[in-house]
Amino acid sequence: MNGDRRPLLLVLLGSALLVTLVLHLVFVPRYLPDDVLLTVLALGAGWVTYAIAFYALGRVGAEPESEAFPNLRFADVGIALLLVSLLLLLSFDALGVPLEGIVGIYALPAAGIYAGLALLGWSIGRRTEAINEMVR
């Protein structure tokens, strides 16, 4: 990676992690049981910043000169995991499973969403760094 971009990526990584933590630890618990719209907005913003953090992590940790051109197979797996987990969460809601009563049943799809976002961001970050290295 070019030495002049590494500090910017580290700033992006740190700020994305900070915003993700603030959104998930402050705003989501404040809005979760009562206000559905603000909960969805806070979660959506948290998911975007979480994916950006893993994008920056993928770019910082990539070494394109030592490996073959990375494919997007992990991104495909991440998108599939994300979509299946979202469908599972929506099916729980459609079946009427209460969020307050059984939090544990919602933990597996939630972990799948975050794992899918991490795979997607990391894979796109590695691919971007490899393309940038080819252009240089």
Determine contact, residues 117/123, Cβ cutoff 8 Å: no
Per-residue pLDDT at 124: 92
Give me the pLDDT at residue 85, please: 94
Q: Which tokens is 102 given? A: 């059984």
pLDDT at 83: 95
Q: Report the pLDDT value the prediction gives residue 40, as an integer from 0 to 100.
A: 86
Gyration radius of the chain over CA positions:
17
Q: Please tell me the predicted confidence (pLDDT) of residue 66.
A: 64
Look up the pTM and report it. 0.84
The residue type at 23: L
Answer yes or no: are the C-beta atoms of 57 and 9 closer than 8 Å. no
- The pLDDT of residue 70 is 79
Do residues 117 and 86 make contact, with C-beta atoms less than 8 angstroms apart? no
Residue-level pLDDT at 3: 56
In this structure, the number of other CB atoms found within 10 A of the CB of residue 111 comes to 12
pLDDT block averages, 10 residues each, the chain of length 136 = 72 93 90 83 92 92 72 91 93 82 80 94 89 80
In contact, 82 and 44? CB cutoff 8 Å: no
Helix axes 36-61 and 6-22, enclosed angle (nearest 10): 150
**What is the per-residue pLDDT for 80?**
96
